[in-house]
Amino acid sequence: MTGFPCELCPRRCMRRPGFCGAGDGPRLFRWGPHFGEEPPLAAGGGSGCIFFSRCTMKCVYCQNSPWSWRGEGTDRTVGELAGVMRDLATKDGCSNWNLVSPTPYLPYVRAAAGILASEGVRLPFVWNSSGYERVETLEEYRDLCDVALFDLRYSSDETAMRLSQAPEYVRHARAAVKWAHENCPGAPGGVPGLIVRILVLPGHSAEAVESLRWLAGEVSNEVHVSIMAQYTPAYQALKLPPLDRKVNRGEYEEVAEAAEELGFANGWTQDFSAADPKLAFLGENMPAGAGPIGES
Ligand code: SF4
């Protein structure tokens, strides 16, 4: 797996390092049990999150910029990655392996999972992603996608380019969601195979509503949706109105009400009044290494 011509994400760089900056081995920033994910994922011993360094998107409002943009973290061997996954399963008692932005590292995750399978250690995989994925990659690595936790972040390619440098985001993310709906089996405890996250961005609530309309019309309104109020200005967005503020109550309610009108009955909305900036989970404040997620 050295210097392979990388086509894992829609950018298809054909070289490493490419756009995301990932090298020839897994690079991890933080891992540990997370109890703040959607309830079925966080049940039991929590969701065993692994935050990989680097990302295939470059969002101006990224809350994880130290490791997503700047690549902070530590290079690990496949054996060490297997050790992290083993600890999450056997020491922490997590309910799943929640791979956060794993796409550049899929071959290494599969290799690590192979080591653990030979020991009889197996948890369901959650593929936790911006949704900027290739269907061909999802097909090839379907064994790592029991549950797709995918964003539908934009319904305009112009916005996706401007805010995340992601060409043709809408086509790719929607195809990924469709694929997941048809293919992901889910996990024990009633965890659905697909959860679509709708992060309401300030000034962009109409795009979130449009994503919901597409989902109801082209996939199903039975899909579990998670409508998120927690946007917190960070990184470059601190100087980019309207992204320099929290989402307001009117914007959030517009999206939540649209979900109700479209017949979405499965999923989660957030208590808007609880979405206090002081309480928001800001990844950029999280230390590296092992430990619970969302606490420091
Ligand atoms: S995963 Fe990284 S290197 Fe591979 S195609 Fe995507 S951006 Fe390029």
Does the pLDDT of residue 75 top 70, yes or no?
A: yes
- The mean pLDDT of 112-133, rounded to a whole number, is 98
- Cα radius of gyration rounded to whole Å, the chain: 18
Proportion of the chain above pLDDT 90, given as a percent: 87
Task: Name the CATH superfamily, with its identifier, for domain 27-286.
Answer: Aldolase class I (3.20.20.70)
Ligand 1 pocket check for 172: Cβ under 6 Å: no
* Residue 249 contacts residue 209 (beta carbons within 8 Å): no
Supply the residue whose CA is at minimum distance from atom 4 of ligand 1: 6
The pTM of the whole model exceeds 0.85 = yes
Supply the residue whose CA is at minimum distance from atom 3 of ligand 1: 18
The pLDDT tens digits of the residues spanning 1-26 come to 667 899 999 999 999 999 999 999 99
* Residue 106 contacts residue 136 (beta carbons within 8 Å): no
Ligand 1 pocket check for 9: Cβ under 6 Å: yes
pLDDT band, residue 129 (cuts 50/70/90):
very high
Strands 147-151 and 96-100: unpaired
Mutate to test the pocket of ligand 1, among 7, 20, 27 (most ligand atoms within 8 A of CB): 20
69 C-alpha to ligand 1 centroid (Å): 14
274, burial (CB in 10 Å: exposed 0-12, middle 13-18, buried 19+): exposed
Classified as helix, coil or strand, 93 is coil
4 C-alpha to ligand 1 centroid (Å): 11
108 C-alpha to ligand 1 centroid (Å): 14
- The mean pLDDT of 59-82, rounded to a whole number, is 95
For ligand 1, what atom is nearest to the CA of residue 54? 2
Does the pLDDT of residue 284 top 90, yes or no?
A: no
pLDDT higher at 92 or 287: 92
Ligand 1 pocket check for 96: Cβ under 6 Å: no
Instruction: Read off the DSSP letter of residue 235.
Output: G
- The mean pLDDT of 122-138, rounded to a whole number, is 98
Residue 280 is predicted with a pLDDT of: 47
The pLDDT tens digits of the residues spanning 40-49 come to 999 999 999 9
pLDDT higher at 296 or 56: 56
Residue 86 is predicted with a pLDDT of: 98
* Residue 128 contacts residue 184 (beta carbons within 8 Å): no
Using CA atoms, how far apart are residues 84 and 103, in angstroms rounded to an integer?
18
For ligand 1, what atom is nearest to the CA of residue 9? 6
Does the pLDDT of residue 33 top 60, yes or no?
A: yes
Using CA atoms, how far apart are residues 10 and 22, in angstroms rounded to an integer?
15
Ligand 1 pocket check for 8: Cβ under 6 Å: yes
The pLDDT tens digits of the residues spanning 186-205 come to 999 999 999 999 999 999 99
Region of poorest pLDDT, from 68-77, 84-93, 276-285: 276-285
Residue 271 is predicted with a pLDDT of: 76
Ligand 1 pocket check for 22: Cβ under 6 Å: yes
Domain segments of the chain: what residues?
Answer: 27-286
Proportion of the chain above pLDDT 70, given as a percent: 95
- The mean pLDDT of 237-254, rounded to a whole number, is 95
* Mean pLDDT for all residues in the chain: 93
